[in-house]
Chains A and B, each alone.
Chain A
Amino acid sequence: MTSAPSTERSRKKVIYSSPYIPAEWIAAHGLEPNRMACLSYDRSLFVSAPVNVEAGVCPYMRGFINQASSDTRVQAIILTTTCDQMRRGADLISLYSHIPCFLMHVPASWETSGVNRLFLRELERLGEFLVSLGGVKPQPDELAATMRTYDEKRKKLMAQQGMVSGKDFAQKLACFAETGNVTDGREQYVPGEKCIPVGFIGSPLTGNHFDLFDVFSEYGASVAFNATETGERVLPARFDLRRLKDEPMHVLAESYFSSFPDIGERPNNRIFMWMKDRVRDHHVRGVVLIRYMWCDKWHAEAQRFRESLSVPLLDIEIDGEQIGERTRNRIQAFMEGLR
């Protein structure tokens, strides 16, 4: 844990990429949470490092730490251990960057009370780090008030699901993650009668990947749900308002740690059951797994999804760049197969 140099106090943004980081915890400390959308996939491993390794390096991790560490408005970077690449990314940041970096352990197992306590303790440690940056430890009522605000915003956001197109909703989610703002819906979206509903699952969608919605639309699909790591799957459950006043930290920890299913949790049977429910509830006719090259956790389960879901699965590997012709062709073929 490193204190921020006083000359850099003017910086405000606290950047993170994991859905396990509660924005309201950062905001309650008087700092600006920003779940950054990675827009750059610079091929260098790390902008200020005298090294350049591509093989075996996740393009998302590379893009995230490059962008976060080169943004002059960034006060600190928070990474989590949910992915080995991000865990090692923290090693690189501490080696090559002066920006304070906090690595939070998010337990992979979830079935015991011990790991719930461990997650709570990690949030408390994160709080200590935020204080070291110049944040102020919130009183319980202040934290509860911030949590209520975020809870209401998420409620407002979720009310727009299905009312706007899949792409618009994904962008609204991304906007909320980055800024904490919820934009109002405009006209009601009605998918064409012949549109085939599909669902997305997988790694975070950023930058150019939002074009995937357009590509699927071009070939006659509507995206009925977005269960990627930037989609609605990873929103925390609504807070238990009855307990919020007395134990806000516990409510916060419970909501963020155990409410959404994740591919990396062990065991990860919850995500398979969750997906079956979504496929049934949204009447989707195909599921699209979108994953980054070298992302083992999603990659290893592609076949299991294929075997367990009642609809066809398309496995798309992205490297952080534009959607290529090969991927377009596969999407086209997949959609033709669904007709």
Chain B
Amino acid sequence: MDRLQQITLEECDAAYGQWLSYGGQAPRYGGRLSRHVKDGNKGIERLKFDNSAVAMNLWNFLLTEEERLREARSAGKKLIGTMKDLGTLPVMVYAHPGLVAFYPDGAWWIPCLMDENDRLLEVADQLGVDGTFCPVRAMLAAFVTGDHFPAPDMLICSVGATCDDFSAIAQRVEGLGNPILWWELPHRRALGHDETGIELPGGACAAKDQIDFVKDEMTRIIRVMADTVGASVTDDMIVHGISEANKVRACLAELRLTIFTADIAPLPALELLVAEMMAIHFCSDRDEVLVVLSGLLELVQQRVAAGVGYLGPDSVRVFWINPVADLRVMNMLEECGGRICGTEYLFTHALDQIPTHIPPREALARMALADPMAGAAQDRARRICADIKRFGSEAVIISRIPGASHCALEGVVIKETIRSIFDIPVVEIEVPPVSDTFQASLRTRLSALIEIAKGQRKRK
């Protein structure tokens, strides 16, 4: 697996066999990637993968999450389905050794991974939640079919400053007989004239009374969780949980920085997206995720030191905003001559270090309020612009989530803010869960963006 290239699933299997024959040690979830196709993940046949063993570990770790959840249940652990907050509650849940957190929200990738063989979108249609909703509607169907994750022992969902699609779909989940503990995340408001804000991870500011309110919500969640699943999470446990989460975040921060600042892209966009997603709930194994990500970081550092990577130094440095429901589109970026140099996948608050100098529930409250979707789109845009400057991005892709209630308007604000500061091209695309019929137009838009960015490079 020495020569750097993106390879097909079939080639992955061959490379994996070769790696084993040279004495490679596979983790317990390791194996040929094609076995996941037999489990139903037919969509991965259409992806292209980084050809390293550590990248295959990453994929194997991702695609075996359901098994881990079932093992955890068999071992007597309680499964907590955390919904929407993307990164905050799992820190608290994993602080207790008898609890495991996962996001049912992650079902939004199932139609892509299973190439719609799961028929989740069809089931969602039948429930009256059609294609005018965000792809997270697959989650509703997954609760109905019960095929994709074990039924959680408890569901906890943030509401308030969250998107309407998710709130509406989560309410339908509850309406189908799945009780949810709703907790309030207030819109991160602008400060009053005489008000002193508290800086949050990531740089935004929040009013003290809002932080106090969310801290009280954290306390309430701990209380209800103890009553519901019999697991009491103490502050000392959370302190430890924060420390462990921060290790994962530090590793990801180093990984992102190394990739974004490298002369040649050391890792494809797709694998980086998967790695970043690991931050929100550790893919159901907080210890192992660090092993997986550390391996990836080591690989990337080796590649940078050796001056090897994908494409070449000529590739256009692209900042990508919002995650895509169809992972193939991330492959398309390299195919069009672009590389990732900056990302904002709606969960930057799950990547920032959680403060350790303050009481732990307050630290989690600050983190929750740092959610880019909790505040004004201008706050989001400011952070994106700071990162564009930091990483020298030459072009921006705003990937709209089809049907999402926030994307159309947020996109306008973010795009206009970027254009007011930088002379770089910005393109908006919309990526459905299975983008077959849109592939040609998406490719055209990405190619045009890359072309324009290269043209501007010459003019500068």
Contacts and interface: CB of A to CB of B under 8 A. Distances in A.
Interface of A: 1, 45, 49-51, 53, 55-57, 81, 83-85, 87-92, 94-95, 103, 105, 107-109, 111-112, 114-115, 118, 121, 125, 128, 132, 264, 266-268, 293-297, 299-304, 306
Contact of B182 (A83, A85, A109, A114): A109
Given A49-B412, A91-B376, A121 B192 contact: no
Top 6 A-B residue pairs of the complex, sorted by shortest distance between their CB atoms: A303-B128, A56-B408, A300-B168, A88-B409, A108-B159, A84-B405
A53 B407 CA distance: 11
Nearest to B410: A88
Contacts of B180: 266-267
A267 B182 contact: yes
B189 interface: yes
A336 B102 CA distance: 49
A304 B132 CA distance: 17
B164 A85 contact: yes
A49 B132 CA distance: 26
A92 B409 CA distance: 8
A91 B405 contact: no
Interface in B165-224: 165, 167-172, 174-175, 180, 182-184, 186-187, 189-190, 192-193, 209, 213, 216-217, 220
A263 to B, nearest CB: 9
A76 to B, nearest CB: 14
Contacts of A57: 408-409
Interface centre among A51, A91, A121 (most CB of B within 10 A): A91
Interface centre among B129, B407, B408 (most CB of A within 10 A): B408
Contacts of A87: 161, 187
Given A294-B405, A300-B168, A118 B213 contact: yes
B416 interface: yes
B5 to A, nearest CB: 38
Interface of B: 127-129, 132-133, 157, 159-165, 167-172, 174-175, 180, 182-184, 186-187, 189-190, 192-193, 209, 213, 216-217, 220, 376-378, 400, 403-413, 415-416
B16 to A, nearest CB: 42
A146 to B, nearest CB: 24
Contacts of A301: 168, 171-172, 175
A88 B169 CA distance: 20
Contacts of A299: 128, 132-133, 168
B413 A81 contact: no
Contacts, number: 148
A105 B189 contact: yes
Contacts of B171: 266-268, 300-301
Contacts of A49: 412, 416
A114 B416 CA distance: 37
Contacts of B159: 108-109, 266
Interface centre among B163, B190, B217, B405 (most CB of A within 10 A): B405
B172 A304 contact: yes
A297 B172 CA distance: 10
B128 A300 contact: yes
A336 to B, nearest CB: 23
A83 B192 CA distance: 23
B189 A103 contact: yes
Contacts of A267: 171, 174, 180, 182
A314 to B, nearest CB: 14
Given A105-B187, A108-B184, A92 B412 contact: yes
Contact of B160 (A45, A108, A268): A108
Contacts of A304: 128, 172, 175
22 contacts: A53-B408, A53-B409, A53-B412, A55-B408, A56-B404, A57-B409, A85-B164, A87-B187, A89-B409, A92-B409, A95-B378, A103-B190, A105-B187, A107-B184, A118-B213, A264-B164, A266-B167, A266-B182, A267-B180, A297-B168, A301-B168, A306-B128
A262 to B, nearest CB: 12
A21 B127 CA distance: 34
Contact of A91 (B128, B186, B377): B377
Given A1-B192, A109-B183, A114-B184, A81 B406 contact: no
Nearest to A57: B408
A109 B412 contact: no
Nearest to B414: A91
Given A81-B161, A91-B409, A108-B160, A296 B168 contact: yes
A309 to B, nearest CB: 14
B186 A83 contact: no
Contacts of B403: 56
A53 B400 CA distance: 13
Contacts of B175: 301, 304
A89 B403 CA distance: 17
A42 B342 CA distance: 37
Interface centre among A45, A88, A107, A128 (most CB of B within 10 A): A88
Contacts of B192: 1, 125, 128
Contacts of B216: 114
B206 to A, nearest CB: 12
A85 B413 CA distance: 13
Interface centre among B165, B171, B378, B411 (most CB of A within 10 A): B171
Contact of B405 (A85, A107, A115): A85
B279 to A, nearest CB: 24
Contacts of B415: 51
Given A107-B160, A266-B167, A84 B408 contact: no
A93 to B, nearest CB: 11
Given A115-B184, A128-B192, 6 more contacts: A92-B412, A92-B413, A118-B213, A299-B132, A299-B168, A301-B168
Contacts of A107: 160, 184, 186
Contacts of B129: 300
Contacts of A81: 160-161, 186-187
A258 to B, nearest CB: 14
B409 to A, nearest CB: 4
Nearest to B419: A50
B432 to A, nearest CB: 13
B408 A109 contact: no
A91 B404 contact: no
Given A85-B405, A88-B410, A94 B182 contact: no
A88 B167 contact: no
A66 to B, nearest CB: 13
Contacts of A1: 190, 192-193
Given A109-B184, A114-B184, A268-B171, A88 B160 contact: no
A302 B132 contact: no
